[in-house]
Amino acid sequence: MAELSKAYQYLLDHQAEFWQNVGTHLQLSLAALALALIVCVPLGVLAAKRQRVAQPIINVANALRVVPSLAILFLALPYLGLGFKPSLVALTVLACPPILINTYAGFRAIDRAVIETAHGMGMAKAQVLRLVEFPLALPVLLVGIRIATVEVIASASLAAFIAGDGLGNFIQVGFAVRRPDIMLVGTVPIAVLALLADALLAGLQRAATPPHRTR
Amino acid sequence: MTKPPAIVVEHVSKQFAGTAQSSVDDCSFEVTAGQLIVLLGPSGCGKTTLLKLINRLYEPSAGRILLNGTDVMQLPVTNVRRQIGYVIQQTGLFPHMRVEANIAVVPRLLGWEQPRIDARIDQLLELLDLPNDYRRRYPRQLSGGEQQRVGIAQALAADPEIMLMDEPFGAVDAITRARLQEELLRIHRKLHKTILFVTHDVDEALRLADKIMVMRQGQIVQFDTPLALLTQPADQFVASLVASGDMLRRLGLLQVGAVAGPFDGNRMALADAPRVSVNGDVRAALSLLLGSGADVLVVVGDDEQPVGMLTFDIIQAAIRQSGQPPVGGR
């Protein structure tokens, strides 16, 4: 308890720094998620439609899953230097597998008969994708985005190790000077942000799922 | 100039890549506008493939298909499909769309204005006997039979001249299926759509069809009226498929009015004899005759006035006659 009130005091004394780090943390996380979506949703759709390329794509995604983010962070250093950019790359790589695999799974799970009816009624390919396949895959895709979001927000703290800033700064500083209260100023808000994002996406997921029989 | 047949299929074959045998093998036939045609045969006989060739879900390997005189390959594929109603088992409804959005799919593709779409949805829900507040429901919130009705409404939405139905009632229980069949016949009588209906259920085929196309191994074995299939099967395959020896089945296709004897007003016994409608089928009449214990039935017209009578002897004669070329029982 004493640590918490000390942490609160530290936060009050460093408000400007705190909010700046929250801002950077969110910026980093959102940018990584946006990049991962732009790259992985089309790839996932492609994999679901072309069985021949599916296996290699899914294998790469699974391989990425086991590479530690910290390793990617340091591997990117020589090419991208310190700061925001290598952090962004590492977090994007982290966000990719769940988004890619869930996009694939969501599109694969659509009943073939529904897609054939859509074509049979005279929808063009792009219309089938937009009006039928995408909405039907969305709930599963959102599960992937939710997993990726929580992971990215939590892991964005690593960026501080290569001067990428964010809430990880407090963890690093607190660790360096043996002050658990400073570390708490980083960890608690990270946990709160992750939980908020999770709740928000859970709500979206529910809204995107058509209701089942209620009677 | 006479109107061209609604559907003309000329020497159409379809062979899928990597298969030795054609799924559809040199099929030719014509369908007059307004007829309800049932494609009947065991699974794998090519009936569904033939159906999908017509709305170009598959493209023929050989031959051509004309709709109202126009080769379907000459038209943009989406245009062909939007002009044809397409119904499959209830899985064909879009689960993420409400009933109203499901029905509105083709009208929206055709660019109808919203008020016109709304009016059409109201009209179709009424036609299919669905409560109007179903508009806001999702398919999974409806029973199987209700979903199937929505499927038919969806196919009818843009008022197509031709409807293709691929085992539409395959996944519903027997009672619901009978009701849906009746509904389909009622709609067909009212709207005169040209309907191609695929099934492997012989009773369903006999019940619905103006003409039945029996298929086996991609070929058309016989294309004839239900009564002709029963009385003059083209070969052993057709005979065993439709069980042409089944006299009750034959009687089910004969109309009471077509076989009834003249009304003999002098017979006192007729006063309290059971009554049947001229529009009923002879099988049901025989059933009534057996069940009631009477030896004569009074046949009444739409105005409930006696117009004829039916006895065992008359029914027997009718069976004997139905072995001859069909006499317009249907």
Residue in B86, B92, B140 closest to A212 by CB: B140
For residue B164, which residues of chain A lie inside 8 Å, CB to CB?
Answer: 120
Phi-psi region of A62 (alpha: psi -120 to 50; beta: other; left: phi over 0): alpha
Q: Is the pLDDT of residue B281 over 70?
A: yes
Protein fold of B7-249: Rossmann fold (3.40.50)
pLDDT band at B329 (very low <50, low <70, confident <90, very high): very low
CB of B66 closer than 8 Å to CB of B8: yes
The 10s digit of each residue's pLDDT in B187-234 is 998 899 999 999 999 989 998 999 999 999 999 999 999 988 888 888
The pLDDT of residue B327: 39
The pLDDT of residue B214: 94
Contact A113 B94 (CB under 8 A): no
Considering only residues A47 and B317, tell me which one the structure prediction assigns the higher pLDDT. A47
The pLDDT of residue B172: 84
Residue in A111, A120, A211 closest to B81 by CB: A120
Closest CA to B137 of B126, B146, B145: B146
ipTM over 0.85: no
pLDDT band at B253 (very low <50, low <70, confident <90, very high): confident
Helix (H, G, I), strand (E, B), or coil: what is residue B224?
strand
The 10s digit of each residue's pLDDT in B69-108 is 889 999 899 999 999 999 987 667 999 999 999 999 999 9
**Could you tell me which CATH number the domain at B255-322 has?**
3.10.580.10
Contact B91 A114 (CB under 8 A): yes
Query: Which chain B residues have any C-beta within 8 angstroms of a chain A C-beta?
Result: 52, 55, 57, 78-83, 86, 88-89, 91-96, 105-106, 109, 138, 140-141, 154, 164
C-alpha distances in angstroms, B107 versus B157, B182, B236? Answer: 7, 26, 46
Considering only residues B101 and B296, tell me which one the structure prediction assigns the higher pLDDT. B101
Chain A residue at shortest CA distance from B54: A120
The pLDDT of residue B19: 85
Closest CA to B212 of B234, B187, B189: B234
The pLDDT of residue B269: 61
For residue A135, which residues of chain B lie inside 8 Å, CB to CB?
Answer: 96
Average pLDDT, chain A: 90
Q: Is the pLDDT of residue A76 over 70?
A: yes
Using CA atoms of B179, B183, B189, B192 in order, give the dihedral in degrees to the nearest 10: -130
Average pLDDT, chain B: 87
For residue B93, which residues of chain A lie inside 8 Å, CB to CB?
Answer: 114, 117
How far away is chain B from the Cα of A103, in angstroms, using its nearest Cα?
A: 17
Domain A2-208, CATH among 1.10.3720.10, 1.10.150.20, 3.90.25.10, 3.40.50.720: 1.10.3720.10
C-alpha distances in angstroms, B97 versus A213, B102, B104, B123, B154? Answer: 14, 6, 10, 19, 12
Closest CA to B88 of B147, B37, B137, B143: B147
The 10s digit of each residue's pLDDT in A152-194 is 999 998 888 887 788 998 999 999 999 999 999 999 999 999 9
Domain boundaries, chain B: 7-249, 255-322
Contact B94 A114 (CB under 8 A): yes
